[in-house]
Amino acid sequence: MPVTTSPGPRAVVQRIPAYVPGARAAVDQRAFKLSSNENPFPPLDSVRDEVARAASLLNRYPDMFATELGEALAARHGVDPAGVVAGCGSVAVLGHVLQAFCDAGDEVVHAWRSFEAYPILVGLQGAVGVEVPLAADGRHDLRAMAAAVTERTRVLLVCSPNNPTGPAVHHAELVELLAAVPDRVLVVLDEAYVEFVRHDDAVRSRELLAAHPNVVVLRTFSKAYGLAALRVGYAVATPDVARAVRTASTPFGVNHLAQVAALASLRAEDELLERVDAVVAERARLLAGLRDQGWSVPDAQGNFVWLPAGPRTVDLAADAVAHGVLVRPFAGEGLRITVGDAAANDRVLELAHGWVTRDGSAQG
């Protein structure tokens, strides 16, 4: 009998590591899930009610272009509605940006370590990732990133606040970067955690969009708005750039329930942002507690903190699981820990104190 084999995938697919999601608790396990940067609060009643009503239309296709949502977001960002493209989470929208602007062999400059989906999306497009090391304090080295731009560079990615280390780029720094980068290079500002930023020189993306046609801003409803399960994000750009991204987008990529929930969330923004303020307050308490224990934690501007643990990272993550806390380990580097509710954060501080006491040092 002849031996048969299945068709082989592209070589690049065989080389690219799979995306690793945050750990989930077993069905029979009770644990604090601090591994996926989720909002600790459940949906608002008003949002849940709108979604429940919309469920009666599940037999119909959604608005393919998320028109009403796009118009609401355009008004918020002060742009033409033609400049807004919604998608299945901001990571999917970024994939469409790369599909629209990168050919095989083109370069994409980004910081590292940063969001782990970047090398995957770049590689799948056949582009070449140019990784620029973060500064010692976990921040983007924007001058080094500008210096890494070559004639082959098509896209430069800025993750602010940076996932997983936490610091955010300052507005003045980004203005300097844009002055140094050629206009032919698309500068993508990934602001998945922007609502949590609390420093004096926060990026003013509306100004950047108005002044620089090569800027694309990515946002999501997954984090601050607590809609991670529905997967809705968007890009804001010039109409010409947005048109190209829309062409590359998956048809009907934002489902009807996601569109309804996002619009309802925008209407309830004041109530939602009160929750963001509560997360920020808990972040400050968690950050202060860890630093008091001796941990060298970078500035935290998202809804998470970064615990440098070096070679101890995997062991500490396993110990956290054993004590009912799920965190996100990056082997050999550190732990990303989502800011949870007060009880979850108390448990993190208790664990981290135990690690210092047991090992005699907070650092990896």
255 Cβ contact list (under 8 Å, min separation 6): 62, 230, 231
What is the pLDDT at residue 7?
86
166 Cβ contact list (under 8 Å, min separation 6): 138, 297, 298, 299, 300, 301, 302, 304, 305, 306
DSSP state of 292: H
Q: Can you list the domains of the chain with their CATH numbers?
A: 21-43+270-357 (3.90.1150.10), 45-267 (3.40.640.10)
What is the pLDDT at residue 30?
80
Digit-coded pLDDT (tens) for 24-75: 766 456 889 999 999 999 999 999 999 999 999 999 999 999 999 999 999 9
Which stretches of the chain score pLDDT less than 70? 1-4, 25-29, 360, 363-364
Tokens of residue 145, six digits:
């990133």
What is the pLDDT at residue 5?
79
Say how many C-beta atoms besides its own lie within 10 A of residue 43's C-beta: 21
What is the pLDDT at residue 215?
98
What is the pLDDT at residue 163?
98
What is the pLDDT at residue 167?
98
17 contacts 120 by C-beta, under 8 angstroms: yes
What is the pLDDT at residue 229?
96
User: What region does 313 belong to: left with phi over 0, alpha with psi -120 to 50, or beta?
Assistant: alpha
Between the alpha carbon of residue 300 and those of residues 60, 144, 271, the distances in Å are 42, 22, 23
**How far apart are the C-alpha atoms of 41 and 20, rounded to whole Å?**
24
φ/ψ of residue 336, rounded to 5: -100, 125
What is the pLDDT at residue 322?
94
What is the pLDDT at residue 161?
98
Q: pTM for the complete prediction?
A: 0.94
